[in-house]
Structure 1
């Protein structure tokens, strides 16, 4: 009989804040909500706080303030302090012309380039004569430095409030990485105080942080992730995982294994059907095999027969390399079921494979009557 107990009734109430909908967070209005659902939700359930917390950044951009325009490296994201010197609006001519803003310090200048942005908005962000801190990648265009659509433009007060590293999230159309980051920070505030479920000695031995600290470290990194290195064969080698990422990965792996073990135990508690054979058909088939069973095959057959003779449901996976004799074990298991007055089916994913199994097993089946059934 199927257990219809809702998952929420099986969950401790301390976890309820994690399973609250993301729509309840500040700044998630009617426009943003559908985009959040598209990114993190499913047709069966809306996006939850826990989905947002486990939507970890894919990387990060260090917002280190460089000393001057002249020292700023080309091709890398930087933050530099500049004074706004000149605006060159897009004008009304043909073509897609950008609004350009010349900013400078005593060591050089950069042209900030804005496509499709109203002039009034650009001028409000960058008033003439103001001092601003801009973040973005500097490129060379016709021998001059330029920065297309800076990722940040702030004053001194805004610079002081910026994190040292801006995390980069997997995003979706209409929802930027920065917007996701703000939601993640809001979600961290909903994180309940949870009791530690890992062995403290094991955590200390592996230098892994508590669960909540690991989540905060991933969403609020203090250092930009290291870039992959190239091995001797030219293949990129990813950098080692951070302690916080290791902690979250271990929690996920252990949780999935525990959930699987609980499901297996729950399934085996349900009553099964005893199928104890007397061994007469199996013995005749085994005696007629053109080879002797290996020790592993013999043990596998014995364990399967033990499961069939039990009043508990069998839940077993037979694993082996190609040619290791799994089909012979399956034939002997089918024979044990037939000895108990049952029928047995060996299913194959394709008709060709089903026919191959049928032709291979027919001369080995002995007293068993084999029939081939296909989708046709």
Structure 2
């Protein structure tokens, strides 16, 4: 029997090869994938707001006649379209446009547009609004519905995704979605069937309760949330089951190397580090693979704990692999471990994407022969040609960057392809308890909740972007005093291209304004080698100021950097802001973090930035972030750096976590149901989960 899973998106009108490839980037190949690409919020576009009553920060629909259209040549060329209605004026500004758009938006055209009101040179402006020329009449009151807003990828606009989802809904009558949950379970929680829930979420009827939909609490949304959380829980239980289906090599501690290592350190371990080490030592001694997550705030000394775990494995005659998500972070670990372990007579191998030719051959040979006791690198360690002699411990840093199932690939590299390696996962992203219970259900958890003595607190300053001049002066004087600074651009737009463009514009502006300083730029579109080269120059003190997108969030260690400016901090999650702030305060000197926001701030925004000012404790901040984000404000994964949920929201939906923890083990024996739910919600992300 044909199902929606069997029908490719190319069956839909208007979907050719090029669009199918773009949809593929969103994990959409079939109609079922498309219907499970769910709106992450809704907009109320049911009424037109008179231009005269618009206020800065409003997100609204406006409609009027084009008075004039101008090509404006400023720092960036833009198309400026002035609209008028009976109450006032509004400017539509486009930085990306073509001749057809310019002709379409000619004088006299009637335009309905939707956007966020911003202050501009000529009055209030919409940047890159969605718009219709000669629009149809607005639906009558009582017939209008909310407009779904979907996650996007570059090259696909909202209206296109909306249209495709509406087309796909037309197939639901003939090909209902298979409901994998037992009817008794749905009855217990008074939840609708899956097809009905999907239909309503994509296309809310006019009489649907608006407040419930806006807050994500409608029974149809909750039906999907519950299934999504369940799929994640099952996938994690499956990972744990698959990893622990094999034995591990028990690594019995002798402790001589650890003792020599600790003596060489210029500091004592904190009580928290010692406590976590006891957990790890015990786990590594067992014939069952350790699966342990070590959480610790920025700078709490997780790397030292990882080094001690590595030494226990090496003393037992085994090898260790340490994997980090970026070249920058992996290289930093390599330098630290070399400094610590080479004096103990140990050999390290460095394997990353940029290690090529003879150097790569030599590293691979050292790993396969066992002469290198430690291999450090990025996900290049997963590759087939990386063969270990006796791999018994894998250390993964910032694992949420990898996707949990990737760790399964490493178990194939264990001792004699028979024994699974022990796994130690580290993260500097503090995780509130409810979140850890769900996001890391496959792991035992230890927390380093104590900072080493001597870490200076970072002073956090919150100021509006109207004081940009003062901030630039502050950068000038910090760098003149021999310090270094970061300037982080956090423009959260629909596309990475716009983020990178914003960073480029900022870097150019700061170079012009601060001619005495050496300014560098890193963003997500640079090749890994280019990024690493800029970071090296910054680390070596050749650059005074580093302009970056949030790619520098994790693990960059430059002790001489004592000032970080973060633009538009109101757009980011607190956990991520706390991570960014942790890039400074790593040396002796007093350090500062300047949060330069764009007014006006919502009361929610004020509370969040205040929490950051008041506390340096990442766990407090993470709890606060979950607590303050009001209902309905769903933070995208790009901001939280957490697991990628389509609909679930930890704070709003934490009531599901306990029931799901109880429910999931009962479903595990039914392999068909488990596989189908995981495929539906995690899609291609589970390819490493294949046994």
**TM-score using structure 2 length:** 0.32
Are 1:26 and 2:8 an aligned pair?
Answer: no
Which structure 2 residues correspond to residues 1-376 of structure 1 after superposition, within 5 A?
A: 13-14=1-2, 16-40=3-27, 47-84=29-66, 86-90=67-71, 96-118=76-98, 121-125=101-105, 127-128=107-108, 130-142=109-121, 144-157=123-136, 159-160=138-139, 164-191=145-172, 192-193=175-176, 198-200=181-183, 202-221=185-204, 223=210, 241-252=217-228, 322=279, 330=287, 352-354=311-313, 375=389
The secondary structure found in structure 2 opposite 1:190 is: coil
Q: How far has the Cα of 1:178 moved from its partner?
A: 2.7
Whether the aligned pair in 1 keeps the contact of 2:4 and 2:177 (CA below 8 Å) is no
1: CA distance between counterparts of 2:237 and 2:76? 61
Whether the aligned pair in 2 keeps the contact of 1:99 and 1:119 (CA below 8 Å) is no
Instruction: Give CA deviations for 1:203-256 in whole Å, capped at 9, x if unaligned.
Output: 3442322211211222224648888xxxxxxxxxxx564422321233356568
Whether the aligned pair in 2 keeps the contact of 1:168 and 1:178 (CA below 8 Å) is no
Aligned CA distance change for structure 1 residues 66 and 225 (closer, same or farther; 3 Å): farther
Q: How far has the Cα of 1:27 moved from its partner?
A: 0.8
Instruction: Give CA deviations for 1:163-221 in whole Å, capped at 9, x if unaligned.
Output: 63332222222122332222222222223135755455543442322211211222224
Instruction: Give CA deviations for 1:121-177 in whole Å, capped at 9, x if unaligned.
Output: 33434551x543221122111471122222122445164499633322222221223
2: CA distance between counterparts of 1:118 and 1:258? 48
How many matched pairs? 260
Considering fraction of residues, name the structure with more helix.
2
Whether the aligned pair in 2 keeps the contact of 1:208 and 1:244 (CA below 8 Å) is yes
The secondary structure found in structure 1 opposite 2:32 is: helix
Moved more, 140-149 or 113-122: 113-122
Whether the aligned pair in 2 keeps the contact of 1:208 and 1:243 (CA below 8 Å) is yes
Aligned CA distance change for structure 1 residues 261 and 71 (closer, same or farther; 3 Å): closer
The secondary structure found in structure 1 opposite 2:89 is: strand
Instruction: Give CA deviations for 1:304-343 in whole Å, capped at 9, x if unaligned.
Output: xxxxxxxxxxxxxxxxx93897778749xxxxxxxxxxxx
2: CA distance between counterparts of 1:194 and 1:254? 17
2: CA distance between counterparts of 1:114 and 1:257? 44
- Alpha-carbon RMSD across the aligned residues, in angstroms, is 4.3
Aligned CA distance change for structure 1 residues 351 and 244 (closer, same or farther; 3 Å): same
Aligned CA distance change for structure 1 residues 20 and 137 (closer, same or farther; 3 Å): same
1: CA distance between counterparts of 2:237 and 2:310? 34
Whether the aligned pair in 1 keeps the contact of 2:47 and 2:138 (CA below 8 Å) is no
Aligned CA distance change for structure 1 residues 182 and 67 (closer, same or farther; 3 Å): closer
Q: How far has the Cα of 1:257 moved from its partner?
A: 7.9
Q: Which of the two has higher C-alpha Rg?
A: 1
1: CA distance between counterparts of 2:155 and 2:216? 32
**Structure 2 unaligned blocks of 5 or more:** 239-277, 289-308, 319-372, 374-388, 391-691
Aligned CA distance change for structure 1 residues 190 and 324 (closer, same or farther; 3 Å): farther
1: CA distance between counterparts of 2:68 and 2:177? 54
Q: How far has the Cα of 1:355 moved from its partner?
A: 5.2
1: CA distance between counterparts of 2:187 and 2:193? 10
